A = this chain, B = another copy of it.
Amino acid sequence: MTVSRVLRNRGDVSPTTRQKVLEAARQLGYVPNKIAGALASQRVNLVAVIIPSMSNMVFPEVMTGISRVLEETELQPVVGVTDYLPEKEEKVLYEMLSWRPSGVIIAGLEHSDASRAMLAAAGIPVIEIMDTDGTPVDSAVGISHRRAGREMAKAILAAGYRRIGYMGTRLGLDHRARKRFEGFTEALAKGGVEIEDQEFYTNGSALGKGREMTAAMMARSPELDFLYYSNDMIGAGGLLWMREQGYDVPGAVGMAGFNDVQLLHGLPSKLATMDSCRQEIGRRAAEIILARLNGEDAPSGKVELTPVINPGDTLRAP
């Protein structure tokens, strides 16, 4: 029918009929059925975005980056949440792929075999984000968390700290935190230093957990002169506690977190941290999808961004 042509601004349609169709559509409150359209055209302008969590403060920013670039196109992001659970990731991925999206943006490089197989077989651009330590199915945009851990360790050693404690999420579920930890310990080892104490948590109010863990650790290991946190939220909690207790930060004890979450700017003192380039990761990933879909040559393989250390007020100058 001509109607289809009008509604998609395609082909030559006389302005007269065009008007008539538009008018009729409005009157009937017509909303086209994309399902039928997609089935017929074999094109779906959806980009599946699969992330571990929404309440994390890190993924909303990635989403912002993605939305910004997709906004000016036909493409629409559709998000799925995995809660850091591989089985759930598999399920969500399956569900999303069954809608035949035009591309997939998925967090991390670690997936179940089944998930990897699905991604590889989907025949669409697949961008794995956040991390570049590993082998992507297709392309990856992110930072090297191992390197991020190393860099922070080097900065800490350079500043003269030697007795280091670590606090973070229970390793295992969060591969990126694990890799940072590995890079961190590795670089410390090169400097002849070992982590003296560590503590892990699973959930709860991050700020509060940071306080609790820090209090417990300082009670247990008062000799520590540096506290490294797997994320800024628990780090900020720890910092608040340390300040209240009257510790000399960063003189006697240095502290650092990870992510550079904007949310915390405005706290009495600023935790040393490392920017994880979240928004740019989202932007770049969406751009690659877009380029691929337009048949342009987009960087395949890894795109590694470089996180920068922000010493804040809790890392003394070397």
| A208 lies within 8 A of B33 (CB) | no
- Minimum C-beta distance from A165 to chain B (A): 19
Contacting A39 at CB < 8 Å: which of B32, B39, B98, B264? B39
Known: A205-B265, A263-B205. A36 touches B39 (CB 8 A): yes
- Report the nearest B residue to A121, measured CB to CB: B29
A264 contacts which chain B residues (CB < 8 A)?
Answer: 207
- Report the nearest B residue to A26, measured CB to CB: B114
Count of residues in A whose CB is under 8 Å from the partner chain: 50
A29 contacts which chain B residues (CB < 8 A)?
Answer: 117-118, 121
A64 contacts which chain B residues (CB < 8 A)?
Answer: 54-55
Q: Which of A20-40 contact B (CB under 8 A)?
A: 29, 31-36, 38-39
- Minimum C-beta distance from A54 to chain B (A): 4
| A237 lies within 8 A of B208 (CB) | no
A103 interface contact, C-beta 8 A: no
A44 interface contact, C-beta 8 A: yes
A206 interface contact, C-beta 8 A: yes
Q: Which of A90-104 contact B (CB under 8 A)?
A: 94-95, 97-100
A179 interface contact, C-beta 8 A: no
Known: A31-B97, A207-B263. A60 touches B55 (CB 8 A): yes
| B35 lies within 8 A of A39 (CB) | yes
A36 contacts which chain B residues (CB < 8 A)?
Answer: 39
- Report the nearest B residue to A209, measured CB to CB: B266
| A207 lies within 8 A of B33 (CB) | no
A195 interface contact, C-beta 8 A: no
A271 interface contact, C-beta 8 A: no
A209 contacts which chain B residues (CB < 8 A)?
Answer: 266
- Minimum C-beta distance from A314 to chain B (A): 17
Q: Which of A54-77 contact B (CB under 8 A)?
A: 54-55, 60-61, 63-64, 67, 76
Known: A54-B63, A64-B55, A79-B79. A98 touches B266 (CB 8 A): no
A267 interface contact, C-beta 8 A: yes
| B210 lies within 8 A of A237 (CB) | no
Separation of A211 and B266 alpha carbons in the complex (Å): 7
- Minimum C-beta distance from A138 to chain B (A): 16
Known: A60-B60, A98-B33. A210 touches B266 (CB 8 A): yes
Q: What are some 20 contacts across the A-B interface (CB < 8 A)?
A: A29-B121, A31-B122, A33-B39, A33-B100, A34-B100, A35-B38, A35-B99, A36-B39, A54-B54, A54-B63, A60-B60, A63-B81, A205-B266, A206-B263, A207-B263, A209-B266, A240-B266, A240-B267, A244-B268, A263-B263
